[in-house]
Amino acid sequence: MRLFLVRHGKAEYGPEDADRRLSPRGQADVTAMAEHLSQQEITVARVVHSTLARARETAEILSAKLAPGVQLEELKGIEPWGNVKAFAKLAEKWGEDTMVCGHEPFMGEAVSYLMTGNEHAGLVEVKTGAMMSLARNPYGEGWQMRWMLTPRIVRGPKRGED
């Protein structure tokens, strides 16, 4: 079972945080990631996103290429300050390859917790539009990192600046 953890693309500013949409740059970054992974024949069986619009929009763009026909699921508790331990317990029960679209600092803390048992290990600074693939560690406890890509790496620096 693979877990694909994604941080939403760059978002517009707005008065209501929950309603903020992706900026044109954010849409382009996420679209480039979707196309890159689609060329590498990555497919996903389930797609979940947080309750915030920018995560849902990110999930919509990615799922169009990587999970065609899959119904998106909204998941509470993975907002920026969500509970990573509760999320880890949930993810352990998932049997299908699942993509999760969420936020910082939640995603960075979730990866740190899944890989080391310490959500404050600070393993990654997850940039907007970045995606990580994790699998259960075949040699022991927890999860292992399989790959991690950012828009900057997938698009090249001229179009996907940090």
State the residues that interact with another protein by CB under 8 A.
39-42, 115-116, 121-125, 130, 135, 137, 139-140, 142-150, 152-154, 156-158
Nearest-approach distance from CB 138 to another protein, in angstroms: 9
Q: What is the CA radius of gyration of the chain?
A: 15
Q: Which is nearer to another protein, 4 or 87 (CB)?
A: 4
Taken in order 90, 92, 97, 100, the sign of the CA dihedral is positive
**Sequence-distant (≥ 6) Cβ neighbours of residue 156 within 8 angstroms:** none
Nearest-approach distance from CB 88 to another protein, in angstroms: 14
SS3 116: helix
Q: Which is nearer to another protein, 73 or 137 (CB)?
A: 137
**Sequence-distant (≥ 6) Cβ neighbours of residue 32 within 8 angstroms:** 151, 154, 155, 159, 160
Nearest-approach distance from CB 125 to another protein, in angstroms: 5
Amino acid occupying residue 159: R
Q: Which is nearer to another protein, 81 or 147 (CB)?
A: 147
Nearest-approach distance from CB 76 to another protein, in angstroms: 28
